[in-house]
Amino acid sequence: MKGFGSDNHSGVHPELLKAIVSANTEHAPSYGTDEYSEKAIRLFKEKFGQQTEVFFVFNGTAANVLSLRFLTERHESILCSDVSHLNLDECGAPEFFAAKLITVKSTEGKMSLADLKASLKRKGDQHYTQSRVVSLTQPTELGTCYSLEEIRAICQWAHSEGMRVHLDGARLTNALIHLNCTFKEMTTDLGVDVVSFGGTKNGLMMGEAILVLSSDLIAEAKKKLKFIRKQAAQLPSKTRFIACQFERYLSSELYLQIAQHSCSMAQKLFEGVSAVPQVKVTATRQSNAVFATIPKPWVKHLKEKYFFYVWDESNFECRLMTSWDTQPSEIDGFVNLLKQFSETT
């Protein structure tokens, strides 16, 4: 049953599956020395800047926690939003692999610079972890996007305080659509230091990439990150099958087509849902998700036809997520159901 559960409920985009099938010829060296890795890395450098160092890993948790481990020492800490995936959905992986999280309050998933500043405390005090990284999610867990100006200001401040900026970009490409810019304009050019670049939620079978962007981190990344990755059990042996997907994803603007589709489906869904008086949209739509409160008695019936998650059980705020394979007919069907319920209650 399809629905709006998550962009990891959908399968592999046909073009990406084709890339996998094509890569399955003869032998290839393992552990990252194959030609597919080389090509994919070249494309990442094109998109994020030639200095970029790229490390493929299996999943998003790994991309996040290994990025953070690279940027922190055990006695340091990471500033992140109270609703971040890092804090709520990684089962303590950041604290296990990297360091303590210090949570900052958020509005529609975003931290303000003022709140970040207020959360940076007790520099030099040996009794307190020293904050060393700000971790942003783009788009956020609530489907909103930090503006380029916001990212720039956070990076400037963080750097002025001796901190680094990590960006959890499980769905990074979707933010390009809203901000109408390039990857480089959204990250490298603004001072973002390290990105967790998502693949799985954007049509890949599996695979994410850690991108080290800051020139002054490159030497250290080259020296350390391959060991960190291996020790963390994140070095794929048949790397070509992850790399070939990224190669295809970043070629011929496939990444933009997929993101464009997901986001326009979300916009259609947003419009349909907004038109139902009993349904209340709860977050600005700037990505491939719509958050809305739906009358409790409707939810069960809706779920019989379209799978989705109740985000907040207390008020039946639901998360409706589109994907590369969402069809307009599915949105029409869902919205029509809402309208029927609306009229009969």
Q: Is 224 in the site for its own copies (CB under 8 A)?
A: yes
Contact status, residue 20 vs residue 245, Cβ threshold 8 Å? yes
Segment near its own copies (CB under 8 A); pick from 135-143, 184-192, 234-242, 335-343? 234-242
Which of 54, 154, 190, 228 is close enough to bind its own copies by CB under 8 A?
Answer: 228
Which of 39, 45, 226, 268 is close enough to bind its own copies by CB under 8 A?
Answer: 226
Question: 200: Cβ–Cβ under 8 A, 6 or more apart, which residues?
Answer: 8, 59, 60, 170, 206, 207, 208
At 55 the three-state DSSP class reads strand
Sheet containing strand 309-312, edge to edge, reads: 280-281, 289-293, 317-321, 309-312
Pick from 251, 67, 75: which is nearest to 167 by CA? 67
State the minimum distance, in angstroms, from the CB of residue 260 to its own copies: 21
Structure tokens at 120: 């940076």
Q: Is 307 in the site for its own copies (CB under 8 A)?
A: yes
Which of 43, 49, 58, 218 is close enough to bind its own copies by CB under 8 A?
Answer: 58
Binding mask 184-203 for its own copies (x = CB under 8 A): ----------------xx--
State the minimum distance, in angstroms, from the CB of residue 190 to its own copies: 27
Interacting positions 240-279 with its own copies (CB under 8 A): 240-241
Which of 38, 46, 89, 312 is close enough to bind its own copies by CB under 8 A?
Answer: 89
Q: Is 78 in the site for its own copies (CB under 8 A)?
A: no
Query: Which H/E stretch holds residue 12?
Result: none
DSSP 8-class letter at 184: H
Segment near its own copies (CB under 8 A); pick from 5-13, 37-45, 151-159, 289-297? 5-13
Nearer to its own copies, 44 or 308 (CB): 308
User: Which DSSP string do the residues of 303-334 spell out, in sequence order?
Assistant: HHHSB-EEEETTTTEEEEE--TT--HHHHHHH
Binding residues for its own copies, rule CB under 8 A, total 73
Q: Is 233 in the site for its own copies (CB under 8 A)?
A: yes
Structure tokens at 267: 């916009």
User: Which DSSP string do the residues of 250-311 spell out, in sequence order?
Assistant: TSTTHHHHHHHHHHHHHHHHHHHHHTSTT-EE-S---SSEEEEE--HHHHHHHHHHSB-EEE
Which of 46, 73, 253, 332 is close enough to bind its own copies by CB under 8 A?
Answer: 73
Contact status, residue 229 vs residue 235, Cβ threshold 8 Å? yes
Segment near its own copies (CB under 8 A); pick from 140-148, 235-243, 293-301, 335-343? 235-243
Interacting positions 93-122 with its own copies (CB under 8 A): 93, 95-97, 99-100
Nearer to its own copies, 12 or 331 (CB): 12
